[in-house]
Structure 1
Amino acid sequence: MSIVRTDNEFNNFYEEYAVSTQNIYEKGNNYNVYEQVFFRAFDILFAILAFIVSVPIMLVTILLIRLESPGSAFYVQKRVGLNGNYFNMYKFRSMHINAEIDGPQWAKKDDNRVTKVGKIIRKMRIDELPQLLNVLVGDMSLIGPRPERPNFTAEFNNDIPDFVLRLSVKPGLTGWAQVNGGYEITPHDKLLLDLYYVKHKSLKLDILIIIKTIKVIFTGEGAR
């Protein structure tokens, strides 16, 4: 259950955009009870440990964001989750307050909307740390396809009809696509990598993604 649900009349991507679910790949929802319990317990344990370890980093980040620019240090944004359900995703704010005054925009390399602090926390993936809360409450998993915004999900699905197959598993804090190209890959390539994860999800693959994520954090690969 989400912490906060959106306040418009739609709480589901498929309902709002009238997208058919007929061909949705269901592997992500077909794990047996033991597998579901194991992966959920793994998410909760890791999220709690990661939260405890990262508290000092998050406190410093909040301070630096507030010192550089006015406004909240946190950013809340509607994203599409498991089975198309909407949830509010939490991030540290890395852009100026009015970054999307002209409407939603896809982030680009050397984006001038990003603050100085924002460039650092994006490169090190620190801006994603508040999503540990999303993992704890069950909106997200530690590992899985990164959640997209509804309008971008609809746009990508028009160009790539199978894009919504990513919604057959919980979105993740990090994922196979993020550690194999990150921000630099196209939506189509991201879909292929996400579907690989959906079809081959396992503890071994999750551990590999965690190891590769740590490498990304220290090298800044794929940041923008």
Structure 2
Amino acid sequence: MFNNLNSTTVRLYLLIRTIFDCIVALIGIILTLPVLIIFSLLIKLESRGPIFYTQERVGLEGKRFYIIKLRSMYINAELNGAQWASENDPRITKIGLFIRKTRIDELPQLINILKGDMSLIGPRPERPIFTKKFNNEIPGFVNRLAVKPGVTGWAQVNGGYNITPKEKLELDINYINNLSWRLDIYILFKTVKVVLTGDGAR
């Protein structure tokens, strides 16, 4: 389906981008450490439970890994089973609402990049249960797994949480078919806008 992924140019681009991702992630961790410390303390002061939250996700070619985030919900938020966050979700703490809106809760995923599980830009990784569900409902949903998942991506900056799985698939496939530094830079600029405005957050 993705003939472009086999081209020498795209393979070289993905190799260089992996190196670029690691450099940016390392610098990002150093620069955002004060922010992480401050919000870690606020999370701990507001509600009981761990500061960080890990959750199994599906990555490149179906490989499973644990994504790392700052905890934005009360503990035992999924006693009734896995579910997507909704607008005005009562499970989200006050601090959690802010860090989700500003995407600060995503900062620990820089560690996922250093571990090789994620890239700075790519399709948003879904949980195994939702990946299977969406692929049954929308054949081809797993084609998003042709590249590493990203902290941000084309689908995230064009709707975020507010788009349907089908729309997400279409946007992610469009991104994979048009991989380029130019598109990545454009996504990064749009990401900054999303962070500043809080668009698409839940």
Structure 1 or 2: larger helix share? 2
Paired amino acid for 2:60: L
Q: Which residue of 2 aligns with 1:22?
A: none
CA–CA separation in structure 2 for the residues paired with 1:70 and 1:31: 50
| Inter-CA distance 116–31: structure 2 relative to 1 (3 Å threshold) | farther
Moved over 3 A (4+): 25-29
Q: Which residue of 2 aligns with 1:60?
A: 38
CA–CA separation in structure 2 for the residues paired with 1:166 and 1:115: 31
1:30 correspondence with 2:9:
no
CA–CA separation in structure 1 for the residues paired with 2:7 and 2:63: 19
Cα RMSD over matched residues? 1.2
TM-score of the superposed pair, with normalisation by structure 2: 0.96
Q: Is the 2:154–2:187 contact (alpha carbons within 8 Å) kept by the matching residues of 1?
A: yes
Unmatched tracts of structure 2, length 5 or more: none
Corresponding residue to 1:86 among 64, 67, 90: 64
Q: Which residue of 2 aligns with 1:165?
A: 143
Q: How big is the shift at 1:35?
A: 2.2
CA–CA separation in structure 2 for the residues paired with 1:135 and 1:126: 16
Corresponding residue to 2:26 among 38, 48, 52: 48
Q: Is the 1:90–1:134 contact (alpha carbons within 8 Å) kept by the matching residues of 2?
A: yes
Partner-residue secondary structure (3-state), 2:126: coil
Q: Is the 1:153–1:163 contact (alpha carbons within 8 Å) kept by the matching residues of 2?
A: yes
- How many pairs align? 200
Corresponding residue to 1:202 among 151, 157, 180: 180
Q: How big is the shift at 1:36?
A: 3.0
TM-score of the superposed pair, with normalisation by structure 1: 0.86
Corresponding residue to 2:169 among 174, 191, 195: 191
Q: Is the 1:27–1:198 contact (alpha carbons within 8 Å) kept by the matching residues of 2?
A: no
Corresponding residue to 1:143 among 102, 118, 121: 121
Q: Is the 1:91–1:127 contact (alpha carbons within 8 Å) kept by the matching residues of 2?
A: yes
Unmatched tracts of structure 1, length 5 or more: 1-24
Partner-residue secondary structure (3-state), 1:183: helix
Q: Which residue of 2 aligns with 1:121?
A: 99
Partner-residue secondary structure (3-state), 1:101: coil
Q: Is the 2:2–2:176 contact (alpha carbons within 8 Å) kept by the matching residues of 1?
A: no
Q: Which residue of 1 aligns with 2:51?
A: 73
Q: Deviations over 1:141-199 (max 9, x none)?
A: 00000000000011111111011110001000000000011111111111110001000
| Percent identity over paired residues | 56
